[in-house]
Homo-oligomer: A and B are copies of this chain.
Amino acid sequence: MHPIGVIHSPFTEKDQTPIQTSRSQAIGLVELYPEFADGLDDIEGLSHIQLLYVFHQSSGYTLRVKPFLDDQEHGVFATRYPQRPNPIGISTVRLLFRQGNALTVEGVDVLDGTPLLDIKPYVPDFDVRTNGVRVGWYETRSKK
């Protein structure tokens, strides 16, 4: 796995950074390295994209964590805590426009300088589940 670019954001400190992108209206710039620019063709038709990236400021992990939204411990895989065995993050953001190898996006929730691994289209037919969804400990916490 090698970065294909960098995510620029207004957030330079962990404790400034929004907990989830759905709570953020921050504008960010997703800058692909120029050799990957052709891979963006036709992305303008998409209103939302998924960014996959490295939690580059997180080192090490424990299997039980106390997430930001709760005061109880949970298994790390039942949370989105950044310190995890493979520190990969996913954020769905709104694509505002493309200029060459750079995408201006709304709703970033990552630190400035975050290494980008991949971009995928957000497609509700594939990504959204509505039937019998339960969110466990997030039930009372995700709206906080």
Contacts and interface: CB of A to CB of B under 8 A. Distances in A.
A47 B132 contact: yes
> What is the count of identical protomers in the complex?
2
A46 B121 contact: no
A52 B80 CA distance: 13
Contacts of A88: 1, 52, 88, 117-118
Interface string A38-56: 1111111111111010000
A39 B64 contact: yes
B75 A41 contact: yes
B50 A38 contact: no
Interface in A104-144: 117-129, 132-139, 142-143
